[in-house]
Amino acid sequence: MAEAPLEVSPPFCTNGATPAASVVICAYNSRSRIDRALGSLRDQDLDEPFEVIVVDSGSDGCAEYLAAHHPDVQVVRSTTRLHPGPARNRGVSAARGRTVAFLPDDGLARPDWLRRRLAKHREGYDAVGGAIVNGTPGHPVGTAGYLLEYSALIPADRVLAEQRLPHCLSYDRELFERLGRYPEDTETGEDTLFNRRLVEAGVRVGFDDRIQLAHLNLTGLGPYLRHQYLHGRGLMQCVWRHGLDSPIGPTRQPAALAAWRMFVVYPGLRWGRALGRIRRGRPRWMLAFVALSPIIWAGLWATAAGSWREWRRGGRA
């Protein structure tokens, strides 16, 4: 009896060809997640070559694993921990494609994710925005985290186009020459700050809600709250170091007013805006949003606590 043929994954673009696009994955202790992200890229239905760049700064042996099991992936290795800003910048520096896209290490790209991105870029847009869908739909904490963090990126063109500062973008690489690179002095929010620069420069952004990646959200309550806390710290860093406009207020404000803004105004506005987006874009999700609101509010207050801690530590300096 003849043996079944081995299933061989298609290789990514190597140095012998010019890639149509570069996909950058910022990886920190991603050994347990990286196969799924790369698998989703190997399933892309794009009939043009593209390259994959993993920027690794963890300590779990991910870079060595990639070298042994995914030799067609370019690895940019740092022996020191990289936050998202510097990790993104190292990926951009290594990219050879005209289009640069980013896939999180806990994201799964839909098979037409890259093809649709390139098609939208070729319509004349220098930046293209897509949607994020819930990769943990059966879990209450995971779904609450999704609704809290990605309400502006639900698969609804109307909601995507409403973003004041768009996210989940791919870029013509020339934009990084015109506008500079991502800020490297914040723990999170580097994409918000770069995309603010993009909007201020008048760059046209095209949106397509069929460009989708599924995000594998945190499902443990403790990790979820810690994640939101770190986002709060990053938010305060963006406000204090880069003048980002936010409901948490400026760095110089009385403590009582700062507490009111961070723990009452900010979470209330964010909860209400998320509910409004879901009502406009995915009204069938409203019941789930309301039912999961205790977990969502816990995440909002964790974000507020992170902002408060950062403000108390140095935001007034």
Tokens of 199: 């909007």
Give 5's pLDDT tier (boundaries 50, 70, 90). very low
Give the residue carrying structure tokens 């500062």: 165
Torsion (CA) 221, 222, 223, 224 in degrees, nearest 10: 40
Q: Which element (helix H / strand E) includes 82?
A: none
Percentage of the chain modeled with pLDDT above 70:
95
Q: 215, 230, 245: which is the final residue of a domain?
A: 215
Give 10's pLDDT tier (boundaries 50, 70, 90). low
Q: Are residues 245 and 142 in the same domain?
A: no
Give the residue carrying structure tokens 């009111």: 260
Give the residue carrying structure tokens 């443990």: 220
Given a cut of 60, whether residue 315 has pLDDT beyond it is no
What residue type is 14 in one-letter code?
T
Given a cut of 90, whether residue 233 has pLDDT beyond it is yes
Q: Are residues 155 and 263 in the same domain?
A: no
Q: Are residues 155 and 273 in the same domain?
A: no
Q: For 156-196, what is each residue's pLDDT tens digit? A: 999 999 999 999 999 999 999 999 999 999 999 999 999 99
Does residue 217 contact residue 134 with C-beta atoms inside 8 Å? yes
Q: Which residues of 110-126 are buried (b: 16+ CB within 10 A; e: fewer)?
A: bebbbbbbbebbeeebb
Q: For 42-96, what is each residue's pLDDT tens digit? A: 999 999 999 999 999 989 999 999 999 999 999 999 999 999 999 999 999 999 9
**CB within 8 Å of 211: residues ≥ 6 apart:** 110, 112, 113, 116, 117, 120, 128, 129, 130, 131
Return the higher-pLDDT residue of 124 and 252: 124
**CB within 8 Å of 105: residues ≥ 6 apart:** 25, 26, 27, 28, 30, 33, 34, 37
Return the higher-pLDDT residue of 177 and 4: 177
Given a cut of 50, whether residue 37 has pLDDT beyond it is yes
**What mean pLDDT comes out for the span 31-37?**
96
Domain enclosing residue 158, as ranges: 21-215
DSSP per residue over 95-152, as a string? --SSEEEE--TTEEE-TTHHHHHHHHHTTT-SEEEEEEEES-TT-HHHHHHHHHHSGG
| Domain count across the chain | 2
In a domain, 90, yes or no: yes
Q: 158, 188, 215: which is the final residue of a domain?
A: 215
Given a cut of 90, whether residue 13 has pLDDT beyond it is no
